[in-house]
């Protein structure tokens, strides 16, 4: 199978929303009048972002999910994406699984594959997504204000817990590992919540490198600080509620590490004025996405962790940084 057969077979489908899809030098999109285009790219590198031998279907899902998560963080509605793919060899079974996982998630969000590039090389997947948002309504990192509430969606820390187990640093019961691994390999982008938070949240981003590190971006962009109640964040790891984890044999330190600085969560962290509490609850309900209030924005710069006794906790959790 050659390059063009491969593209035709696995990555070409009838065009729906786009003006022109796969097959020409450029794809063509017609943005809705009055909307702004939201554009973001994320690359997944084998051995860096995922283990060699990761299930192809899940990898296809994740490659798009991490990109949709960026649209979610801006409150944008997904429109289309391009796929730049380097493959070591043509492996029909792998391509079948990968494209099935990728296109199933794309369909679930009405997000169309409109082009890309395919080359031979070490396995590397780079997706660029295009979304749209009403002009001036995108959720930004720079809008947090002192006094705002601080929230996070869904669960935190399970992806990191799975990674720790897969790397042999901790041992998990089989059911717990399966649950955690699902979060690592097939994250859920919070696309509906992001759109529901337009006009409600004052700032937002998606948690990809770990809550504390990513929240730092909001704090710097907004010129504020924050406090986080770790009694709330530690409860957000789904694995500890799993029946097979009975006895709570997780070490607290590991749970703090995973929830506060785990990485690969793809949840939304966002802020909203106290007056918007009911609106935040309504957005969570409308998008069927759980949301937890974990702290507040303060005028004093920096991040303060609060323990179960209301006392300051030392900040010793480092989020992920490719070059640190």
Question: Which one, of 60, 61, 117, lies nearest residue 86 by Cα?
Answer: 117
Please name the residues in contact with 75: beta carbons below 8 A apart, sequence gap of 6 or more: 133, 137, 138, 139, 194, 195, 197, 198, 201, 204
The annotation status of 250 as a binding-site residue, yes or no, is no
The annotation status of 206 as a binding-site residue, yes or no, is yes
118 contact, one of ligand ADP, Mg ion, none, CB 5-8 Å limit per kind:
ligand ADP
The annotation status of 214 as a binding-site residue, yes or no, is no
E strand intervals along the chain = 35-45, 77-87, 112-120, 124-134, 149-153, 203-207, 225-229, 267-272, 291-298, 302-306, 312-313
22 contact, one of ligand ADP, Mg ion, none, CB 5-8 Å limit per kind:
ligand ADP
Dihedral sign, CA of 105, 47, 182, 153?
Answer: negative
**Distance of alpha carbon 239 from alpha carbon 181, whole angstroms:** 10
**For the range 178-183, what are the long-range contacts, defined as Cβ-Cβ under 8 Å and sequence gap of 24 or more?**
179/238, 179/239, 179/242, 180/238, 180/239, 183/155, 183/158, 183/159, 183/238, 183/264, 183/265
Taking the complex as a whole, how short is the minimal distance between the CB of residue 186 and ligand ADP, in angstroms?
21
- If residue 8 lies in a helix (H) or strand (E), which one and from where to where? helix 3-11
Q: Kindly state the tokens that stand for 241.
A: 């509620």
Taking the complex as a whole, how short is the minimal distance between the CB of residue 11 and ligand ADP, in angstroms?
3
CB nearer to ligand ADP: pick between 7 and 176: 7
Q: How many H helices and E strands in the chain?
A: 10, 11
- If residue 243 lies in a helix (H) or strand (E), which one and from where to where? none
Taking the complex as a whole, how short is the minimal distance between the CB of residue 117 and ligand ADP, in angstroms?
5
Radius of gyration of the chain (CA): 20
Taking the complex as a whole, how short is the minimal distance between the CB of residue 80 and Mg ion, in angstroms?
18
Q: Is 3 in the site for Mg ion (CB under 5 A)?
A: no
Residues that bind ligand ADP (CB under 6 A): 7, 11, 22-25, 83, 85, 113, 115-118
The annotation status of 5 as a binding-site residue, yes or no, is no
Q: Which residue has the tokens 């994250």?
A: 187
The annotation status of 42 as a binding-site residue, yes or no, is yes
Taking the complex as a whole, how short is the minimal distance between the CB of residue 9 and ligand ADP, in angstroms?
11
The annotation status of 116 as a binding-site residue, yes or no, is yes
CB nearer to ligand ADP: pick between 11 and 270: 11
85 contact, one of Mg ion, ligand ADP, none, CB 5-8 Å limit per kind:
ligand ADP
Q: Is 117 in the site for Mg ion (CB under 5 A)?
A: yes
CB nearer to ligand ADP: pick between 6 and 38: 6
Taking the complex as a whole, how short is the minimal distance between the CB of residue 16 and Mg ion, in angstroms?
23
Q: Which residue is nearest to ligand ADP (CB)?
A: 115
CB nearer to ligand ADP: pick between 74 and 123: 123
The annotation status of 40 as a binding-site residue, yes or no, is yes
Q: Which residue is nearest to Mg ion (CB)?
A: 117
H helix intervals, 78-210: 92-108, 158-166, 174-185, 191-196
Look up residue 22 and give its DSSP letter: B
CA 37 distance to own-chain centroid? 19
Taking the complex as a whole, how short is the minimal distance between the CB of residue 8 and ligand ADP, in angstroms?
8
CB nearer to ligand ADP: pick between 106 and 234: 106
83 contact, one of Mg ion, ligand ADP, none, CB 5-8 Å limit per kind:
ligand ADP
Which positions make up the binding site?
25, 40-42, 49, 70, 116-117, 141, 206, 208-209, 264, 320
Binding site for Mg ion (CB under 5 A): 117
């Amino acid at each position: 199978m050659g390059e063009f057969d491969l593209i035709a077979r696995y990555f070409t489908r009838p065009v729906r929303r786009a003006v022109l899809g796969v097959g020409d030098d450029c794809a063509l999109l017609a943005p809705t009048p009055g909307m702004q285009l939201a554009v973001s790219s994320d690359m997944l590198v084998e051995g860096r972002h995922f283990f060699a031998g990761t299930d192809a279907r899940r990898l296809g899902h994740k490659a798009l999910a991490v990109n949709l998560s960026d649209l979610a963080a801006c409150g944008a509605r997904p429109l289309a994406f391009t796929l730049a793919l380097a493959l070591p060899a043509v492996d029909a079974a792998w391509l079948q699984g990968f494209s099935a996982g990728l296109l199933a998630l794309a369909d679930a969000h009405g997000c169309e594959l409109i082009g890309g590039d395919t080359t031979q090389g070490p396995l590397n997947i780079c997706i660029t997504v295009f979304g749209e948002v009403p002009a001036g309504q995108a959720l930004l990192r720079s809008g947090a204000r002192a006094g705002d509430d601080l929230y996070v969606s869904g669960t935190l820390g399970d992806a990191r817990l799975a990674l720790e187990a897969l790397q042999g640093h901790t041992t998990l019961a089989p059911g717990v590992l399966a649950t955690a691994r699902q979060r690592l390999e097939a994250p859920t982008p919070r696309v509906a919540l992001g759109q529901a938070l337009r006009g409600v949240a004052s700032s937002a981003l998606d948690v990809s490198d770990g809550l504390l590190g990513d929240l730092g971006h909001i704090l710097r962009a907004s010129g504020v600080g924050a406090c986080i109640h770790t009694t709330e964040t530690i409860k957000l790891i789904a694995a500890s509620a799993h029946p097979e984890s009975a006895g709570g044999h997780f070490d607290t330190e590991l749970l703090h590490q995973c929830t506060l600085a785990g990485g690969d969560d793809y949840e939304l962290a966002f802020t909203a004025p106290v007056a918007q509490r009911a609106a935040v609850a309504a957005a969570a309900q409308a998008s069927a996405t759980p949301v937890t209030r974990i702290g507040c924005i303060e005028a004093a710069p920096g991040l303060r962790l609060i323990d179960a006794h209301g006392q300051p906790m030392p900040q010793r959790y480092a989020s992920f940084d490719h070059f640190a």
